[in-house]
Every structure is written in C-alpha cells, then in structure tokens.
Chains A and B, each alone.
Chain A
Amino acid sequence: MTAIVKVSLLLLLICTGCDSSRMDSTPTPVILEIPASFPVLEIPQDNPLTEEGIALGRTLFFDPILSIDSTVACASCHEPASAFSDPLAFSQGVDGVTTRNSMPIINVGWMETLFWDGRAMSVEEQALKPVENEVEMGERWDQVVKKIKRHAVYPAMFDDAFPSQSITPELIAKAIAQYERTLISADSKYDRFRAGEATLTEQEILGMNLFFNERGDCFHCHGTALFTDNRYHNNGLDEYPEDLGLAAITNHPTDAGKFKTPTLRNIEYTAPYMHDGRFETLEEVVEFYNSGTKYSETIDPLLGNRRQINLSEEEKAALVAYLKTLSDPGFLSTH
C-alpha cells in the first residue's frame, strides 16, 4: 500500500468514527429544579429540555442573525440587566419602535398564554412571532433558515440538540423556548424571608401586609409564587382604553382594556411600567392604585368603582419597599 492510501484509509476511519459517534449521541436531558413555592411546571412532550437545546436557544436568543439587517436580537429588547425587559417605554426594533412596552421574560415556562393580550398559547408559539414582525426583526423565516443552515456553527449545534431533524422555524422556536424555560427567578429577599433565611424591615413588613390584605389588595391578581395570576384584567388605567388589549384578540367588547397581569418579580428592574410604559417609577404606580384608577364598563370588580384606598405617605413608601424585596439580583447575571 502506498502511503497515500494508508493515510486516506486512516482518515476514512477517523471520519466514520466521528460520524458514528455523532449519530449515537442523544441530547442530554435536563431536569429543572422547581422552587417548592411554585406551581407544577408542564413541559410539552415534544420539546423536552436538553443541555444542547438550551445552549442552542441561548445562542439564538442573543444573536441578531434573526433580524433582517443583523442589528436586533431577542436580547435587544429583553436584556438580562433589565430582567429580560428593557428600559424604554417602547422598544427599538429594525424599523421604528414597538407599540407596547417590552415584557420581562421571568418564569415564562409557567405561563399558559403570553403577550399583553394573550395571543400566544405557549413559549414555542410566542418565539415564532418576533422574526416576521415588521417593527421588531422584519425578517422572513425562510431567510433566517437559510442563514442558519450556511452558518459555521449552527448546523452542528442543531444536530446536537435535535439529531437528524432538518432546521425549521419551529425547531428554532423550540430551542429558544427551552432556554426561556430556564429563566427562573425565585431567589429574592422575599423568597429568603419565606424560607426563614432573611428578615424583612418593619417598613417592608408593613408593605407586605398591605399587598396581601384587602386594603392594598394586590395579591388577588399579582398572587401565587409567580406574582401573577396569568389572567387578563382591566386595572383601571383609562376610562376609554385606546389599546383594546385582549378584546382585539377575542372580539368581545367585554374584554376591552384587559391586559395580562405582569409578574412583580424583579419589578425594580423593569421600569417603565404598564403595557404602554406610562409610569416611570413604582411610586407613580402605587399612587395610581391609591387614587387614580378610573371607572369603565370593563374595570375589574376587584378594583371596583373609582376605588380610593387612602394610603398614607408612610404606607405608600412601605408598599414600594415591599415590591423591591421581590428583586433577585442574581437573576440578572446568571445567564
């Protein structure tokens, strides 16, 4: 045998060796640690979490390749430093700004419906939307798939995460969804207080009592360990809501002005507030609930008819102090 043949044979052996090991490797399953205070987490059977899937999803989430001119990534409007929201009232996309305030991505695995108006029924479905949204990423899905297929790294990553499946928009969304399910925030001062590992100040305790009693009455909507009921309410922002919210999706006039209750976890980091970012500070939000809710036909019965709760200055400050105990600084940096 000539040397050339020998080398070729060796190469062939190595190559087939590589190939077969790739084919044998199944993605490594990941079991999320669910905080004891949280409800059960349901993960769709056709998208189990794997190390490779999560890693791929994370890379895609931070990669502007999904946008038409490679300037905007999911993370542009969902920055870790802002608890996966951004500091703007309306977010900057490839073509102008969004019509609503960017939502934080916190514990979204538990959310049965997504968006301010609930138009997506799962994180997978949600992740399909921004790419073709003209303002946000303005790209066509077939273009995205093309770019990813000829990319230096992605084809191998997809093969590791989803062996022998061809790259499709759905598969891209699945990977992103896997990553989003890992964005669990459950280590705030308040969580530690509940676990007996931290103490709250007198002011924070006063605020907590207001949050959970019928006077302040925040817990009926911002309840559970998620600090949202994941339901849709009109919390009295406007007498005549300009943005119809849920009603634009359901076509029921009785849903006018209803929006998804946002989580209050990490609320300190997600200003400005509400679906249109109208409030700059938590003090303004608390003053709104104290004296500013407006009656309309769809106002939530919990907020009643032109509710005035007459909180003292001390009580308002306490409520804000309590909201800040829901901050989980570690959440901003672990990703």
Chain B
Amino acid sequence: MFSNIQRFLPCLLLILLVSGCDLFGGNDDPEEGVVGVSFEHYGNEQIVTLEQSSHQSEAGHSFTVTLLEYIVTDIALTHEDGTVVSLKGSHYVNKDNPDTWTIASITIAPGTYTSLSFRFGIEGSENVFGALERTLAVDNMIWPMMMPMGDGTTERYHYMRFEGRYGTDGTFRIHNGPSGGGDYSFPVSLPIDLEIDGNSETIQVDMHLDQWLTGPNVWDFTDYGMIMGNPGAQALLQANGSTVFAVKN
C-alpha cells in the first residue's frame, strides 16, 4: 500500500503541475481587451451642468454654459511598439445628450498603450458637409459656405459650439471652425498608461472649458461677438486648445 503511494506520488505531482500550468496559462498568452472612451466637461475643476454651474474666466467674468457640442475625429490609441489602433473615425459630443458622451467599447489587441490621440475638429480637406454621420444633431453642426465665414465653395462643419452667459446680462458664443476656409482643427495626444490583457477599460477624457479662455491667450467675452468670420480669433482658440484636454488617470 505504502509503496504504491510512493510509486504514484511523482505521477500525481506531475499531473498537478501540468494542470496548474494550464490554469495559469494566461501568463503565456495575453488576451484581447476592450476599451471605451468617455468625455467629461469641467470649468475650473468643477463638473459643468448646463445653465446651472457657474465658472470663472481668466479675464474675470463668471459664466454659465448653455450649449456645448463638438466633433473629434481620428480617435486612436498608440501601442508602445508604435502601432496606432483606430477606435473611431469621428465622434460628436453634446453635453445635453448623455448618449453622446461615450465611444462604445472596442476590442483591441493586448499590450501596453501609451497614448490616446484625436483631432479636435476635422482636418481641412476632409471637412466637407455630408461626410459625417447624417443625424439631425450632426447635420446641425453645418458651417455655411458664405464669405467671410467659409470659402464660398463648400459647406463644412463647425468643430464646436460653446455658448453661454456671463456677468449680469452678457451672452457669448464661441463657434470654432474652418473660418474663411482655413484649418483651425488641431491634433491632441494624451499620455496614458493602459495595460490590456483580457481587461475592459474606459479612458476618461476631460475638456477643461476654462482653458479655452486662457493659456496662452486671455479671451475676454466682451472683445468677441461673432467669430465665424474671424480667422484671427480662430487661431487664438486653436492655440488655447493645447491645454483644454486631459486624461484622468
């Protein structure tokens, strides 16, 4: 009896080891995961509530937001080996519609991803009306061709409509887009530290609205009315855009 056990013990151990290896087999074969993106909106680190929350501009005005909608394109992740994985071609966000706040999860290869990138707005030659999804909300982002707002040839899209109230009875409207046919969209690349191995993750992108109004250019609401035909103003906003987005880690 005893000798029998002695004889079987190595076999048993072997079986245990082998099955053990199988159980932890994931170590050898990293698995695909899923990634989604969500957009959140802040003013001075406080979450924006339309018509409600009050924020402060660098120029010294308190303001509330009545409308916030924008388009981002070429949303992608960069793998540490340099490969770029596209998540979505274009995405429309409207603060008033929670359905638009997230990009649905996409299955991606395992590994380490080091940045999330997208373009704020739509790159010059690709910004042609009708090219994006044809929902009423996206169609409503139309940028007419009329001079001096457009270039007199084609209808395009706004990148953003950001409107609100300031002071006692002031109103502002920041409409970014291809003023005079120019391209004021800009690339955004945000460092991330994302390990994918069978897991499911959501990357939260924060838009800091107060940053549209400063860094480097202080934007005073009283200086600007309608800016769709004002390429100079568009260039200032494009520059300020560099500090608008961040990823919550």
A and B form one complex = yes
The residues of A with any CB-CB pair to B shorter than 8 Å are 38-40, 110, 112, 209, 212-214, 217, 219, 223-226, 229-230, 252, 254, 295, 297, 299-302, 304-305
Q: Is the CB of A224 within 8 A of B228?
A: no
| B66: A residues at CB distance < 8 A | 300-301
**Does B79 belong to the interface (CB within 8 Å)?**
no
Q: Is the CB of A214 within 8 A of B226?
A: yes
Given contacts A219-B142, A252-B51, A299-B171, contact A39 B136 (CB under 8 A): yes
Chain B interface, number of residues (Cβ within 8 angstroms) = 28
Looking at the complex, which one of A38, A40, A229, A252 makes contact with B140 (CB distance below 8 Å)? A229
Distance between Cα atoms of A213 and B171 in the complex (Å): 19
Contact with A along B196-228 (1 / 0, CB 8 A): 000000000000000000000000000001101
**Considering the complex, which residues of chain B in the window 129-177 have a beta carbon less than 8 Å from any beta carbon of chain A?**
133-136, 138-140, 142, 144-146, 149, 163-165, 169-173
User: Interface on chain A toward B: helix, strand, loop, or mixed SS?
Assistant: loop
Distance between Cα atoms of A299 and B133 in the complex (Å): 30
Distance between Cα atoms of A23 and B130 in the complex (Å): 44
Q: Is the CB of A217 within 8 A of B226?
A: yes
A117 → B minimal CB distance (Å):
17
Q: Is the CB of A301 within 8 A of B228?
A: no
**Considering the complex, which residues of chain B in the window 52-67 have a beta carbon less than 8 Å from any beta carbon of chain A?**
52, 66-67
A-B contact pairs, 11 of them (CB 8 A): A39-B136, A110-B136, A212-B144, A214-B149, A217-B226, A229-B136, A230-B136, A300-B66, A301-B67, A304-B173, A305-B171
**Does B36 belong to the interface (CB within 8 Å)?**
no
**Considering the complex, which residues of chain B in the window 103-145 have a beta carbon less than 8 Å from any beta carbon of chain A?**
133-136, 138-140, 142, 144-145
Q: Is the CB of A224 within 8 A of B170?
A: no
Q: Is the CB of B225 within 8 A of A304?
A: yes
Given A38-B134, A223-B140, 6 extra CB contacts under 8 A: A214-B228, A224-B140, A301-B171, A301-B172, A304-B225, A305-B171
A324 → B minimal CB distance (Å):
19
| B145: A residues at CB distance < 8 A | 212
Distance between Cα atoms of A39 and B134 in the complex (Å): 5
A20 → B minimal CB distance (Å):
44
Distance between Cα atoms of A110 and B145 in the complex (Å): 25
A257 → B minimal CB distance (Å):
13
3 A-B pairs closest in CB distance: A301-B171, A214-B226, A212-B144
| B142: A residues at CB distance < 8 A | 219, 223-224
Q: Is the CB of B51 within 8 A of A40?
A: no
Name A214's closest neighbour in chain B (CB-CB): B226
Most buried by B among A209, A217, A224, A225: A224
Name A306's closest neighbour in chain B (CB-CB): B169
Q: Is the CB of A213 within 8 A of B146?
A: yes
**Does B187 belong to the interface (CB within 8 Å)?**
no
| A226: B residues at CB distance < 8 A | 136
B96 → A minimal CB distance (Å):
9
Q: Is the CB of B136 within 8 A of A112?
A: yes
